[in-house]
Amino acid sequence: MSRRMGQEALDVACEWMKHSNHAELEIRSFEHRGETQILLLTAGFDLCYSHELELEFSEVSHIDLPVRFEGRNVRRATPGERAAFHETVGIDDEDTLFVFEARNVGPGPDARVFHVVAQEVAATPGLVFHYLREDLKEGERIAPWVLK
């Protein structure tokens, strides 16, 4: 499956989380590519061995996420959430407030909410192995950090 952008990316991520019995997400990297800040999240059943979804946020200006968490949903913030968040952090007009609804992140309520402020999101589904292996099937690949 190919890379999806914008709302279609969020739809792909939500659908994956809905059908996954354990949607574990992890911050894989935060890097600068030229003048652009890129946040890469990987998602899968067991992130030690592979992941099945990549979420790439670009032009990131704020990150409020644990390093690893179990996701229930990801969406754009409601106007009310955006206004409340803007009062404490501030958001530029061209930025989007992305909301992660998570569970199993420690003591406290069953569901927790985390945020990423970015201008764009892309989703790339597909099985990505975190180790070298042969005989890859169509749509499968080895993670780039394994090949270095």
Average pLDDT value over all residues in the chain: 87
CA distances from 137 to 47, 117, 126 (A): 19, 35, 11
Structural domain count of the chain: 1
- The string of DSSP letters for 33-62 reads ETTEEEEEEEEES-TTTEEEEEEEEES--E
Show the domain range for 26: 4-147
State the pLDDT at residue 137: 93
By percentage, how much of the chain surpasses pLDDT 70?
Answer: 92
pTM (global) more than 0.75: yes
Beta carbons within 8 Å of 64's beta carbon, 6+ residues apart: 114, 115, 116
Res 53 pLDDT > 60: yes
Q: Which residues contact 106 (CB under 8 A, 6 or more apart)?
A: none
- Of the listed ranges 17-31, 32-46, 54-68, 104-118, the least confidently predicted one is 104-118
Helix, strand or coil, per DSSP, at residue 33: strand
